[in-house]
């Protein structure tokens, strides 16, 4: 399949601000390459290319979806460090400044695009998606399979850098989508499922990252390895049926909700996205501090098994 689009329509749309008839283009959390090609040039659409530069150079400059705005995951400011804890949700003011500067308003429909080469890479898209949702913006989707899927579909590419026209984005924090230490402590003693999205080796306490101070996991947690949610060979995110089976096989029970965690809230966003947005389960929260935050206080319990 070769995806064509009207370049003049895209160029015209990039000059427009404050769309008079802005709309939510879809209520689906994932869109495919054909959908994106069809909607390029729509005045409501903002495509954010969050691919980071690599040793091979600037991936955005080498070729990107026409009209996409560069917003690299590691460099743009999507996550913040507070004290010794990395990867936390930035402040409301910081996100308003970042998102407005990318040309996104409250009326925009955002499509997030990452490389799509692996589950971990796709986690950048799910984490940015969660950031939009937790700050009140529902008009957001992810390109399923990312740039890898766009390339596989022979999607048109551009090397013209897009300079966004600043917009106005007003955030509205939704605390029900984020968990902190208090909610995690409550979950240990309740029917809320704690879902550890890290590798099995990290879950059972054989390995840890440098940001985590102790081996093991939060008491009562079950493990669903993050890479089970994404098939890099297709490339595509797991279906709702596959995710439901993953949860069942891991021993997730009917409960009052879910809290996903990992080391710094990156991999956990994959599990959060799968459970909340794809399977459609209610009351799913992301503990963005995750094990880096939890183990920063040695009095908090961890277990190995």
pLDDT in tens, 116-132: 999 999 999 999 999 99
pLDDT of 14 strictly over 80: no
Tokens of 91: 């402040």
Q: What is the DSSP code string of 81-140?
A: EETTEEEEPPPHHHHHHHHHHTT--TTPEEEEE---SSHHHHHHHHHHHHHHHHTT---E
What does the alpha-carbon distance between residue 138 and residue 114 come to, in Å, rounded to a whole number? 19
pLDDT per position as a tens digit, 119-178: 999 999 999 999 999 999 999 999 999 999 999 999 999 999 999 999 999 999 999 999
Give CA–CA dist 267/181, Å, rounded.
Answer: 18
Report the DSSP pairing between strands 45-49 and 193-196: unpaired
């Amino acid at each position: 399949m070769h995806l064509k689009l009207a370049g003049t329509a895209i160029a015209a749309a990039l000059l427009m601000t404050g769309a008079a008839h802005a709309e939510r283009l879809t209520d689906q959390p994932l869109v495919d390459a054909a959908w994106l090609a069809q909607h390029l040039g729509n005045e409501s659409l903002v495509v954010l290319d969050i691919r980071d530069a690599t040793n091979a150079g600037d991936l955005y400059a080498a070729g990107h979806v026409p009209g996409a705005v560069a917003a690299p995951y590691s460099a743009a400011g999507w996550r913040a460090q507070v004290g010794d804890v990395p990867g936390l949700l930035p402040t409301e003011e910081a996100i308003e400044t970042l998102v407005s500067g990318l040309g996104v308003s409250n009326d925009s429909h955002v499509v997030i695009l990452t490389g799509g080469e692996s589950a971990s890479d796709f986690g950048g898209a799910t984490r940015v998606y969660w950031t939009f949702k937790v700050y009140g913006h529902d008009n957001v989707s992810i390109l399923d399979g990312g740039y890898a899927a766009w390339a596989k579909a022979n999607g048109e590419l551009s090397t013209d850098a897009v300079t966004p026209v600043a917009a106005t984005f007003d955030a509205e924090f939704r605390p029900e989508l984020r968990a902190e230490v208090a909610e995690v402590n409550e979950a240990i003693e309740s029917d809320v499922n704690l879902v550890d999205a890290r590798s099995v080796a990290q879950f059972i306490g054989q390995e840890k990252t440098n940001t985590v101070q102790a081996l093991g996991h939060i008491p009562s947690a079950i493990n669903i390895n993050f890479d089970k949610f994404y098939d890099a060979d297709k490339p595509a995110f797991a279906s709702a049926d596959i995710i439901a089976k993953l949860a069942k096989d891991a021993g997730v029970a009917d409960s009052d909700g879910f809290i996903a965690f990992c080391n710094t809230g990156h991999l956990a966003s994959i599990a959060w996205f799968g459970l909340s947005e794809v399977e459609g389960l209610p009351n799913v929260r992301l503990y963005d501090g995750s094990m880096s935050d939890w183990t920063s206080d040695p009095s908090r319990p961890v277990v190995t098994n």
